[in-house]
Amino acid sequence: MLEDSLSPVKRAWIEARVINELNILPLLARYYGQEQGADITDLSAQIVALQQTRQQPPELHEVASRLSGRFPIRFTVDLQRPLKIDEISRTTDSFNQMCLGCHVAPAGDNSVVIGDLGSFSRSMGDQEWLARLLGGVRGDSYTVLENPFSDSDIARFFRYTRDQLR
Ligand code: HEC
């Protein structure tokens, strides 16, 4: 959304996704509070502040980055280890069976990831791609994948998309 060259269709689509995610955050914060037995008063206030930046992409980006920096993903599998030959062929099979059906289509104007998961994955830092991957494999009411994967599977998809997928 910080790119001037973004088409109106793509901008509207990204805006809709951002609003969607912003609306889900209070619920996620509540789950987090319950799971951790943590007081989320301060977090809730920060989420409200984040939601108030929805019309100003530069501020939204800044506040969201600060907030996500406070909650790094706890992920215990090494994401940097290159895949071995047998893992590459196994992960290629899994990807072709479980992901390619949707992610093969040429990127339309209403998507940034369909058809271009490889270069999309290489356009951002590790934490962000991991977060997106977790979001992607969790799915939504349309994809309903509900993340059937272990952290090791996720780590293999992580390296596969970054290193193998062209
Ligand atoms: C039923 C179709 C479908 C299948 C199967 C599917 N995806 Fe997706 N995926 C989508 C759609 C739709 C989106 C959202 C695309 C968009 O908004 O541009 C998405 C988004 C993503 C994203 C980006 C999330 C983000 O927030 O940027 C990732 C990463 C992803 N998928 C990975 C996978 C992986 C890995 C698999 C296989 C394990 C998979 N997907 C299987 C349809 C699918």
Cα of 19 to ligand 1 centre, how many Å? Answer: 18
Q: Round to whole Å and give the CA distance between 109 and 10.
A: 6
Q: What is the pTM of this model?
A: 0.85
Give pLDDT tens digits for 56-81.
Answer: 999 999 999 999 888 888 899 999 99
Other C-beta atoms lying within 10 Å of the C-beta of residue 43:
20
Beta carbons within 8 Å of 72's beta carbon, 6+ residues apart: 127
Ligand 1 atom nearest to CA at 95: 37
pLDDT at 145 over 70: no
The answer, yes or no, to whether any atom of ligand 1 lies below 6 A from the CB of 143, is: yes
Give pLDDT tens digits for 6-60.
Answer: 888 888 888 888 998 899 899 989 999 999 999 999 999 999 999 999 999 999 9
The answer, yes or no, to whether any atom of ligand 1 lies below 6 A from the CB of 132, is: yes
Which residue's C-alpha comes closest to atom 18 of ligand 1?
A: 111
Which residue's C-alpha comes closest to atom 39 of ligand 1?
A: 99
pLDDT at 148 over 60: yes
The answer, yes or no, to whether any atom of ligand 1 lies below 6 A from the CB of 154, is: no
Q: Quick one: pLDDT at residue 111?
A: 62
Which residue's C-alpha comes closest to atom 36 of ligand 1?
A: 99
The gap between the terminal CA atoms of the chain, to the nearest Å, is 24
**What is the gyration radius of the CA atoms in the chain, in angstroms?**
17
The answer, yes or no, to whether any atom of ligand 1 lies below 6 A from the CB of 148, is: no
Give pLDDT tens digits for 86-120.
Answer: 999 999 999 999 888 878 766 565 565 566 788 88
**What's the pLDDT band for 129 if we cut at 50, 70, 90?**
very high
Backbone angles phi and psi of 154, in degrees to 5: -60, -45
Domain ranges across the chain: 8-70, 85-164
